[in-house]
Amino acid sequence: MKEFDYIIIGTGQAGTPLAFSLAKKGKVAIIEKSLVGGTCVNNGCVPTKAYVASARRMWDSQHGEDLGIEIPAGAKANLEKIKARKETFVNASRNGIEKGFADNENITFYRAEAYFVSDYEIMVNDEKITAKNIFINVGARAVVPEEYKKIDYLTNISILELTNIPKHLVIVGGSYIGLEFGQMFKRFGSDVTILERGDRLIKREDDNISEAVAKIMQDEEVDVLLNAKEIAMSQDSSAITIAVNKTTTITASHVLLAIGRQPNTDTLKLENTNIEVSDKGMVTVDDFCRANVDGIFAIGDCNGNGGFTHTSYNDFQIVEAFLLDKEERKISDRITTYGLFIDPPLGRVGLTKQQAVDKGYDILIANRPMSRIARAKEKGETQGFMEAIIDAKTSLILGASVLGVGGDEIINGFTNLMYAKQPYTVFRDGVHIHPTVTELIPTMLESLSPPKK
């Protein structure tokens, strides 16, 4: 049995940098059953944001008249070329990682599906390896309920392999993944219908965000069907027939499942170990990503403490600090922040209004619609709004949302102030560049009011 100082299962955004860091201290085995780089590189952030950029070009080609630009009709999305473009980015990242592994004499790369034989023994390609420090970085995948397995469904992975634009794409799930793919494929030329079982889109957000996002989708003629409680599908050689609530029938050429994500821990044979998992398959960890078995860590999506590339990378930072420097970086110090990368994008940080109220805070709200921001009007992009949630007692920012042009970038200003634990007045009293969207945040923060009942 071959012995290593460290074993890492998975090459995602936490496992890969950890391998290079730990290789400075000892012998590392890193194992990957699929594509090197994990979700972000292969079928998450990198490829989808390349598609979002292409979709934006299509939108630009059809909206020149609004800004006085006459663009001849006839723009067409070429999905083969769009796919080829994203693959240049994906392959460059993947190849760079693989070369880094190959060039490092302290890293042994295994292409295999790993599973546990015991707490500290891993089977790879009929070979047993061991280490006293093992890091589980297996990520997550799309949930596929049993009732959909009888049709030719798409997931966030397989939809990126299409080379022909769907005639009618039906998306089951009205949250982040479904909305991003829905808008981009509508812009590519598909008819798109989004089916959401709940009474609003992206239910984790406040009502005003859900309503504004629904308006953005509907303005682009994406059909949104809420309260789709009962969904039954059948398929013949030409199409997929979808019955919704026994009252509506839809004929689709393609169906994308964007219902949720589940951890890839089910192939690890954790029943051979003492490692604890939740009822959803997430490895239970403490503030330092440690599982209940000494020397075992879970990092990235499979520990249930984030589900984003930036939280996965922060897991790496937490573990690296714990192992090498004894610096106390902790999961509980992390402020939740993320984006919805539709166009215009949503940037979010901290608590929603509802979460703040549920936690007992006395809150004040600052809000400004993009239609009252000169730079947004000059750009011709006035959808959405900016909003901040303030603790009335401490003047600290509890959360913020920027839905609108540049929202995914602008939100970081709020994030930085929250980490600095500084009151909102620092932002309010600052001097910002004119003319920008951000310069209206201080103006927004001059007018705080209690939430509407």
Q: Which residues are catalytic?
A: 434
DSSP state letters, 209-232: HHHHHHHHHHHTT-EEE-----EE
How far is it, in rounded angstroms, from Cα 332 to Cα 314? 11
* CA atoms of 263 and 56, how far apart (whole Å): 32
The alpha helices in 287-439, defined as continuous H runs, are 309-320, 353-358, 374-379, 407-419, 424-428
- Nearest Cα neighbor of 150 from 231, 217, 212, 225 is 231
Percent of the chain as helix, strand, coil, to the nearest 5: 35, 25, 40
Name the one residue in this structure whose structure tokens are 């549920």: 358
CA dihedral over 137, 139, 145, 151, signed as positive or negative: negative
Closest CA to 413 of 435, 434, 386, 391: 386
- Contacts of residue 96, Cβ cutoff 8 Å, sequence gap at least 6: none
Q: Is 156 helix (H, G, I), strand (E, B) or coil?
A: coil
Bridge partner residues of 168 (DSSP): 191
Contact 38, 10 (CB under 8 A): yes
Angular region, 432: left φ>0, alpha ψ -120 to 50, beta rest? beta
Taking Cα atoms as reference points, which of 318, 290, 212, 300 lies closest to residue 261?
300
Given the DSSP bridges, would you call strands 254-257 and 153-154 parallel, antiparallel or unpaired?
parallel
CA-based torsion, 98, 102, 104, 108: positive or negative: positive
Contacts of 326 (CB under 8 A, 6+ apart): none
- The Cα–Cα gap between 434 and 199 comes to 40
CA-based radius of gyration for the chain: 24
State phi, psi for 126 to the nearest 5 degrees.
65, 15
Sign of the torsion angle spanned by Cα atoms 274, 280, 283, 284: negative
